[in-house]
Amino acid sequence: LDAGASGISRVSWRYTTGAHRQNTELMTLEYNANVPSGTWLGSDFDNYSYIQPFLEKARVYAPMVQSLNSFFYWTPRLRSVEIHTTNELIHARGMFNNSAIDYLPEFETSGIQSCDAMFYGVKNIETFPSGHYDFRSVYRNPSNTRWNGFGSMFAFSGFKEVHIDIPQGGPDAGYQNISQMFRSCLNLKKITGNWDTSKCQIWDYSFEYCPNLETMPIPDMSSASNLHGAFRYTPNLRINLFPKGRVYLPYLNYGINAFTFTGGVRDYLYIEDIGTSGAQNNRMDGMFSSCPNLRKVEFSEKPLTTSHIYGYQSMFSYCRNLEYVGYFDYAGSKAMNSF
Per-residue pLDDT of 79-105, as tens digits, reads 999 999 999 999 999 999 999 999 999
Which pLDDT tens digit goes with each residue over 185-230?
A: 999 999 999 999 998 999 999 999 999 999 999 999 999 999 999 9
User: Is residue 37 over pLDDT 80?
Assistant: yes
Specify the pLDDT at position 43.
Answer: 59
| Nearest Cα to Cα of residue 319 among 296, 298, 291 | 291
Which pLDDT tens digit goes with each residue over 255-276?
A: 999 999 999 999 999 999 998 8
53 or 209, which is more confident: 209
Quote the DSSP letter at residue 313.
T
Which pLDDT tens digit goes with each residue over 92-143?
A: 999 999 999 999 999 999 999 999 999 999 999 999 999 899 999 999 888 7
pTM of the model: 0.93
Specify the pLDDT at position 28.
Answer: 86
Long-range CB contacts for residues 272-276, cutoff 8 Å, separation at least 24? 272/246, 272/247, 272/248, 272/300, 272/302, 273/247, 273/248, 273/249, 273/300, 273/302, 274/247, 274/249, 274/250, 274/304, 275/249, 275/250, 275/251, 275/305, 275/306, 276/250, 276/302, 276/305
User: Is residue 47 over pLDDT 60?
Assistant: no
Over range 34-53, report the average pLDDT: 75
pLDDT category, 20, cuts 50, 70, 90?
A: very low
Q: Cα–Cα distances in Å, from 120 out to 20, 94, 123, 333?
A: 22, 7, 9, 39
Which pLDDT tens digit goes with each residue over 291-322?
A: 999 999 999 988 887 777 788 899 999 999 99
User: Is residue 145 over pLDDT 90?
Assistant: no
Over range 249-254, report the average pLDDT: 93
